[in-house]
Structure 1
Amino acid sequence: MKDLSIAIVNWNTSDLLHQCLLSAKESCKGTDYEIIVVDNASSDGSPEMVEEEHPDVLLVRNPINQGFAAACNLAYKYSSGRYFLLLNTDTIVIKSALPDMVGFMDTRPNAGAAGCRLINRDGSLQRSCSCFPGLMTELFDALYLSKIFPKSRLFGAYAMSYWDFADEREVDFAGGSCLIVRREAIEAVGLLDDGFFMYAEEADWCYRMRAGGWKVCYYPGASVIHLGGESAKKYGSQILLHLYTSRNRFLRKHRGSYVAGVHRAIVALGALCRMGAYYVGRAAGRGEPDFIKFQKSLFAWAAGREV
């Protein structure tokens, strides 16, 4: 059994994928590891790039784009490592970050999963852990209170924006950009829920791990550059709808249909407030920017209409 299986899901990010693979290999020198790339029906030559430039990487071609969670689950079926690590294509691994994460997990036998320190290209901090979504956190987000008062432990609870991410601690969940998971924990709680096409799948996974008695940790001793949503940009702004629909699915699954219904009302309120603020701040008659189009789509979804 290898120490580490690295799963990378790709959709039309060939250049980023190449960069990610180079950094992961450099980080893992001296480590018994494997890399599994699941390509979600890319049309930009990504699979051919992997075959030509990285013949040591296991490439799995998906005939259709089934989403992030389903692709990760497919990668797991080909994996053999003691630890299974999710790594986004828009990441650059710094130095020995990945084997350091393995070492951290080895010293924390009760940890089912752990996230690392994520930074932007310029070295500034990127928040990589959150509390589980709830009605209050969603209301604070909808009313922009989380952005107006980021240092508040109340309003900044979801993104944990009051914290400098400098110390190790137990968290609700860590983001899937770089998330290491113990194989025993996966066998105990099951694979990712592939009903989540994009977003919230790692929150659901960590929720199930914590419910099963496993800890989820944040480890600041390993750093990874996360370019931030480069894959998602390929879908356009409408992909952000998945953020809201996935959170709603999370709430329905773990809090019930009533809470999920209230969440839709909160999202509708937030969309109306943002549209109102835009029109108050700008003169009418300048066309309809993507921002407003998205808010209308978001409101339509929250109101129960197809978008």
Structure 2
Amino acid sequence: MTTLSIVIVSWNTKDILDDCLESVYRETDGIEFEVIVVDNDSQDGSAEMVKEKYPGVILIVNEKNVGFAAANNIGFNYCNGKYILLLNSDTVVLDGALQKTVSYADQHPDLGVLSCKILNDDHTLQPNCSMYPSLLNSVLFITGLYKAFPRSKFFGRAQMTWWDYDDERQVQVLKGCFMLVRKEALDATGPMDERFFMYSEEVDWCFRFSKAGWKLGYFPDASIIHLGGVSAAKLGGSRALVKDKSTRRYMKKHWSKPAYAVGLTFMFTFYLSRLPGALLLALLSGGSSKYKKRLENHWTGLRGLATKQDI
């Protein structure tokens, strides 16, 4: 039996996908693994690059962009491993990270999902663990109290800003850029919810793993680089719409109706409280693209909330 099946979903990320695949083959030794690339109708030659440079990769080319969750589920159908690794195309594997993580998982059979230390391109820490969304955590986010008191276990609880990520521990939510999933746990929990096109799908999945009786863990002695947001950035102003739709879907799926109504109010409050500042910065900056994008994001998000959407 193959030890590890690596599923990489790609959408117009040809060059960084190449870097990712190169690092997987360079840094992975001592375990039997297979690589499945699911291409979401890229128009930049990504699929052709994989065919030419990595003939051993199992390549699935979708006729349209079906989203992150659905694309991963397609990849799962081709997996033969004891473990399945969800690996973003904008990652670089470092120093045998995959075999180290698999070894740790072998020693902890109660773990259904495991992640490692995630680094930015400059090798600074990129937090990848959090708590489940809740009304309290929403208040701490909207008010910015988690930024004002990052070392507080209460105010920094949602994003776990008080933690230095140097010790192993059980967590509630892991980011989807690197998720090692035990096949047995996947069979018990089920695949990702494809109604989430992008964003919140891993939060929902982590919650479901926990409900199915599996633990989720973080292992600090293996590392990867994650560039972050490469595919999402290509969405432009619609990014806020996609993200908010997924947030609302999660709340509607897992919260009570009163909690959902309050949560939706919090989302409106977030945009309304930040739009004036975003507009002022965009004007004072002389049309800086950074602040124009921020203004566009907030305005698009607010309009999206005010428009009835099928979630």
CA–CA separation in structure 2 for the residues paired with 1:126 and 1:196: 24
Q: 1:282 to 1:190 in 2, by over 3 A?
A: closer
In structure 2, the gaps of 5 or more residues are: none
RMSD (Å) for aligned C-alpha atoms: 1.9
Q: 1:40 to 1:151 in 2, by over 3 A?
A: same
- State whether structure 2 residue 304 is matched by structure 1 residue 301: yes
- State whether structure 2 residue 204 is matched by structure 1 residue 211: no
What is the match of residue 50 of structure 1?
Answer: 50
What is the match of residue 64 of structure 2?
Answer: 64
Secondary structure of 1:297 counterpart: helix
CA drift of 1:111 comes to 0.5
CA–CA separation in structure 2 for the residues paired with 1:74 and 1:192: 10
What is the match of residue 244 of structure 1?
Answer: 244
What is the match of residue 41 of structure 2?
Answer: 41
Q: Which amino acid aligns with 1:70?
A: A
CA drift of 1:283 comes to 5.8
Determine if contact 2:28/2:99 at 8 Å carries over to the other structure: yes
CA drift of 1:26 comes to 1.6
Cα distance per residue 1:29-51 (max 9 Å; x no partner): 23100000000000000000000
What is the match of residue 145 of structure 1?
Answer: 145
Secondary structure of 1:64 counterpart: coil
Cα distance per residue 1:186-211 (max 9 Å; x no partner): 10010011111111111111111111
Which residue, out of 287, 292, 311, partners 1:289?
A: 292
Secondary structure of 2:77 counterpart: helix
Determine if contact 1:264/1:303 at 8 Å carries over to the other structure: no
Higher mean C-alpha displacement, 185-194 vs 284-293: 284-293
Q: TM-score, normalised by structure 1?
A: 0.95
Q: Sequence identity, in percent?
A: 40
Q: 1:157 to 1:241 in 2, by over 3 A?
A: farther
Q: TM-score, normalised by structure 2?
A: 0.93
Q: Which amino acid aligns with 2:141?
A: D
In structure 1, the gaps of 5 or more residues are: none
What is the match of residue 10 of structure 1?
Answer: 10
CA–CA separation in structure 1 for the residues paired with 2:233 and 2:38: 19
Structure 1 stretches of 4+ with a deviation exceeding 6 A read 284-288
CA drift of 1:246 comes to 1.4
CA–CA separation in structure 1 for the residues paired with 2:19 and 2:300: 35
CA drift of 1:95 comes to 1.3
Q: 1:258 to 1:148 in 2, by over 3 A?
A: same
Q: 1:237 to 1:100 in 2, by over 3 A?
A: farther
Q: 1:263 to 1:81 in 2, by over 3 A?
A: same
What is the match of residue 161 of structure 1?
Answer: 161
CA drift of 1:153 comes to 1.8
CA drift of 1:145 comes to 2.2
CA–CA separation in structure 2 for the residues paired with 1:301 and 1:101: 40
Q: 1:285 to 1:46 in 2, by over 3 A?
A: closer
What is the match of residue 78 of structure 1?
Answer: 78
CA–CA separation in structure 2 for the residues paired with 1:282 and 1:44: 32
Determine if contact 2:282/2:295 at 8 Å carries over to the other structure: no
CA drift of 1:273 comes to 0.8
Cα distance per residue 1:140-178 (max 9 Å; x no partner): 222222223222222221211110011000000111101
CA–CA separation in structure 2 for the residues paired with 1:148 and 1:281: 21
CA drift of 1:238 comes to 2.7
CA–CA separation in structure 2 for the residues paired with 1:227 and 1:281: 26
Determine if contact 1:113/1:182 at 8 Å carries over to the other structure: yes
CA–CA separation in structure 1 for the residues paired with 2:280 and 2:44: 42
Q: Which amino acid aligns with 2:136?
A: M
Determine if contact 2:173/2:206 at 8 Å carries over to the other structure: yes
Q: 1:48 to 1:151 in 2, by over 3 A?
A: same
CA–CA separation in structure 2 for the residues paired with 1:282 and 1:194: 36
